[in-house]
Chain A
Amino acid sequence: MTTADDTRLAMQGTIEALTTGDGSEPVVVNLGPQHPSTHGVFRLKVTLDGEIVQDAEMRIGYLHRSMEKLAEERTYTQNIPFTDRIDYLAAMSNNLAYCLAAEELLGVEVPPRANAIRVMFAELQRVASHAMANGTFINDCGAWHTPLFHMFRDRERVLDMFEMTCGARLTTNYMRIGGVAFDLPDELLPTLEQFLADMPENIANYEALLLENEILHARARGIGVISPEMAINSSLSGPVLRATGVPWDLRKANPYCGYEDYEFDVPVGEQGDCFDRFLVRMAEVKESLRILRQVVDNLPDGPWLADVPLHARPEPGESYARVESPRGELGFYLVSDGGPAPYRFHCRPPSLINLSALKEMSIGGTLADAIVTLGSIDIVVGEIDR
């Protein structure tokens, strides 16, 4: 086929559309797998009438690494690094959920200091992850990276603390079955104190910059709306669910690691639109800081790791543990056949299930609204494809 033929074929559709019928036909546009706004290799195939989205089709699997199958070949302890790479923006929460499931299977009692450290790092992870989520959300609204970089400043400090404690910044591999790998280093608590002292001012700055921004309101209010009923029926969780007004948070509903001892509140939105999701995340960061304050003040002494054999062989059985990750309900389902490796290793990723509502949210809006909605759901493709 010659180049001229290519050109003719490519133009034919457009010319037909201009010369026949009402002069219009829908255009199919692929957003991704390589596209600036899809936060990874995720492909959104939208059918557009002008700028209006008529249909949206999600294509996933570009980052599939077969983790659930690989995990069946490795011992329970060896599987912890996999969980880092499932949701690489919230590795601590993933470590935690997996370790809780394994502990339930093995019947391990976790020392109190380990529980406090786990809560501390899970909440620090939430601060870091929400900084990323809100920053990229504003970016998807078209801001030229400025809020993103300001929020990354906080995230960097959290990652520095991770590095201080376990040597890694993203793929932390810090939690262990029965506790955490290392005790807190001496310099961590002063750094954390400084962080807690600085954060209120930083958050006030973001709020001054963003909350009353008329353009942000125009772009995010009333966009990507989902009703509480629909959200529950789609099993959404996390900030996406809470933005619709449903007060569902596993830290309150099904406490783990001693969350019942800490005083914090669950922020919920009203409209279930993109802006409410953004606000809920902003409010959750403040609640996380409240929890961190209490953890630091009441940090118990003692061992940080229970005595668990490295090649533990649990009794045949199954277990499911779930935590409130920054993106929603993160669950791990483990089945043991009595061997050293899990017979089945399954992850309930919040991103995948939250993403399933994207079609519902974006049809009828414009292309730009679909991008903003996608940004407000806060997906991590590593978690969707696993």
Chain B
Amino acid sequence: MTDPAGLVSVLGSTLGAWYDFRDLNNLQRLITEWIADWGPDWLASIIAGVLGTLGILGVIGPTLLILIWVERKVIARFQQRYGPNRVGPKGLLQPVADAVKLILKEQLAPRAADKLIFFLPPVLIFVPGVLIWGVLPFGPRMSVADLNVGVLFLLAVSGTTVLVIFMAGWSSNNKYALFGAMRAVAMSISYEVPMVLALLTLVVFSGTMSINGIVQWQQQEDVIFILLFPLSAIAFFFAASAELNRTPADISEAESEIVAGYHTEYSGMRFGLFYAVELGNTLVVSAFIATFFLGGWWLWGLDQWVPSWIILLVKTGAVYFLLIWTRGTLPRLRVDQLMGFCWKALVPATLLFVVVAFVERTLLISEGWDTTVALPVMAVINIALTLGAIVLFARVSRPAPLRRPARIRMAGAQIGGLRAARQVASRTEEPQLQVGGD
């Protein structure tokens, strides 16, 4: 059995390291190493897991509250209004006030709902939402679990969310909820495919399934993946925003069509939990996009000077802003258009880039090319391929009504019924306004 002095000595011997704010994981690592010294291995693993979860929750909770404020403020700026500015300085406490309001509200459940399955989803949806943070590398050694199959873990965990959404939609006994759930299931299943294929490109090219390994590969080769595989990045970004139910792909909770989709019947904090997890997922997806395609915690040597997690945070913020931007600007696609875009555009394009990655990787190894020369060349080729694929898709895939332009003519002196209409239509001069078309 150990004595308290053991802990003190362990801490003392590494005092130079545990408060190093470049790597916030040191403290946890020290505690688990100290437990491993005297205790059984399983205890150390459990303690490590608990500490990691607490750390994640402690970081995410306040971050989410700030993010709600940021998102509302940014959207408000897009829309020429102030956004929240009443509670607290600059409205910073508005999310807190909202949370208090949601907690105090009555929790209603429809009489004909399937009670058990109706109560579970707001809790269950938290599980993948928190688990997914575990494999995110905040720094070279800073992640709760640096799995060697991290990419698989990420996809598997994120795929379970849809089950919870379907539970919520089905048990509510509400047609809007059922429609939302059906749409969510169809969309999630479809958009997993381009997501997997986009990540497969990286896995093939970097030769590792560890998420930290992918970042380290980018660090070693001095290149970020968005330059090498821009189409995979775009596809992953769009597929992720579809999985997150954000415009232009928010069909499963399309407000103007099906009220609030699968969480129509949830009130009070149950709705609040759905909302919080959705926001948290948006944040973690931004972080993963930053990790996979923007180099994660690494930034051309700057990570030697600035704590790596701050670099990741800045990149995450940039991606998150992009997500807010698309949400604030674009209308929503229809269900069939969204599915069509996935299966007819994203899947073939990402598949093409998997093949490209295979070929380039094989050439790189078998020919033994110098990567400092070969990678920029490949980047240029791939960017050209991406542009070509986008232009080709835009040309080929436009449905018939979009191929002819919409025209507005001025009636001039012709006023009347059908005969006047034919006269206006048969006039040969240029229409007043002409948009769209090929």
Contact = CB atoms under 8 A, between A and B. Distances in A.
Contacts of B421: 228, 244-247, 268
A282 to B, nearest CB: 8
A35 interface: yes
A270 B406 contact: yes
Contacts of A212: 435-436
Nearest to A139: B256
Given A146-B79, A247-B421, A36 B259 contact: yes
A269 B408 contact: yes
Given A142-B250, A144-B247, A371-B256, A366 B407 contact: no
A143 B330 contact: yes
A36 B256 contact: yes
Contact of B336 (A142, A217, A232, A366): A366
A213 interface: yes
Interface in B114-129: 114-115
A123 interface: no
A271 B408 CA distance: 10
A324 to B, nearest CB: 12
Given A141-B331, A144-B327, A218-B399, A249 B408 contact: no
Interface string A70-101: 00000000000000000000000000000000
B114 A149 contact: no
B189 interface: no
Interface string A115-147: 000000000000000000000001111111110
A215 B330 contact: yes
A88 B255 CA distance: 25
A65 interface: no
B334 A221 contact: no
B352 interface: no
A253 B399 CA distance: 38
A211 B436 CA distance: 8
Interface stretch (B6-14, B132-140, B409-417): B409-417
Interface in B278-292: none
A267 B408 contact: yes
A216 interface: yes
Contacts of A311: none
B336 A221 contact: no
Interface string B238-279: 000000000110110011111100000000000000000000
Contacts of B108: none
B326 to A, nearest CB: 10
B358 interface: no
A273 interface: yes
Contact of A268 (B402, B406, B411): B411
B175 A143 contact: no
B318 interface: no
B337 A218 contact: yes
A10 B414 CA distance: 58
B435 A279 contact: yes
A144 B256 CA distance: 10
Interface in B75-99: 75, 78-81
B80 A275 contact: no
- Give the 7 A-B CB pairs with smallest separation, nearest first: A142-B332, A222-B401, A247-B411, A6-B112, A149-B79, A266-B411, A37-B256
Interface of B: 75, 78-81, 111-115, 173, 175-176, 179, 247-248, 250-251, 254-259, 327-337, 399-402, 406-412, 414-418, 420-421, 424-425, 432-433, 435-436
24 contacts: A3-B112, A29-B176, A36-B256, A37-B257, A51-B336, A141-B256, A149-B81, A218-B333, A219-B337, A221-B401, A221-B436, A222-B399, A228-B421, A244-B421, A248-B416, A248-B417, A265-B411, A268-B421, A271-B406, A276-B408, A283-B433, A366-B335, A368-B334, A368-B335
